[in-house]
Amino acid sequence: MNHENAPFEIHVHGDVKIRPEVGLEALQEALRPLWQYAGAATLADGAESLYEEEPGLRFDAINRLLQMCWTVRGDEDFRAQLDDLCMNLNEISAEGAPIEVTFYDTTFDDDDDDDDLEEREARDDFVLLFVGPTPGAIMRVQRDVLVEDVMAVMARHFEEAELGGVVAAIDQLFEGRRAALAHSLDMSRPQRGTGGRHAPRRSH
């Protein structure tokens, strides 16, 4: 797949803890949406980033950690790879993790004026994804990221000790979401019958 003239440089960044029983073959398959999009035949061929200073797609076998700091040239069609990537990582992850994906517009030169720079920044895009082995694990990391972001903004105006109520409110929101999820899962399970008896025959 040739992306030489693609309008974006797309950067994927995140660390995902991998389950102990997952092997390199399964890891390669999980990352197929990335390395295949880059035009590579294997993970080994596609693991390198567009930029040498970035580590690319690496697996720390000792700590069971997939490390992604990887840039590829591409177009809007890359977004279709993200759904497959997340589903694949859900299958092999040990805990919840965020993944940041940034689309940088490359159709402008560094020498462009301020108006062009504003237009380029308007075309840039940022996507925050979450993966995890269970919906609960994903919610936990979503909660942690949200608390971190909110605290960072509000710390400009309030002391950390004053923000306990804000964190409690966020926790309450996620508790409501967890309860709704648990209820929906219960409703989707087959209802138990009455001891496995057959329905009575209709008399004629």
Residue 35 structure tokens: 């390395």
Q: DSSP readout, 83-149?
A: HHHHHHHHHHBSS-EEEEEEEEE-SS-TT--HHHHHHHHHH-EEEEEEE-SSHHHHHHHHHHHHHHH
Residue 200 structure tokens: 């009575």
pLDDT at residue 26 greater than cutoff 70 = yes
Question: What is the pTM (predicted TM-score) of this model?
Answer: 0.80
Residue 65: which pLDDT band, with cuts at 50, 70 and 90?
Answer: very high
Residue 42 structure tokens: 């294997």
- Considering just the CA atoms, what is the radius of gyration of the chain in Å? 23
**pLDDT at res. 118:** 59
**pLDDT at res. 53:** 96
Q: Which residues pair with 104 in a beta bridge?
A: 9
Per-residue pLDDT averaged across 176-189, rounded? 72
**pLDDT at res. 185:** 63
**pLDDT at res. 1:** 59
Dihedral sign of CA atoms 78, 1, 107, 55 in order: positive
pLDDT at residue 57 greater than cutoff 60 = yes
Q: Which residue has the tokens 């209709």?
A: 202
CA–CA distance, 178 with 172 (Å, rounded to integer): 10
Lowest mean pLDDT among 87-101, 107-121, 138-152: 107-121
**pLDDT at res. 190:** 54
Lowest mean pLDDT among 82-91, 118-127, 156-165: 118-127
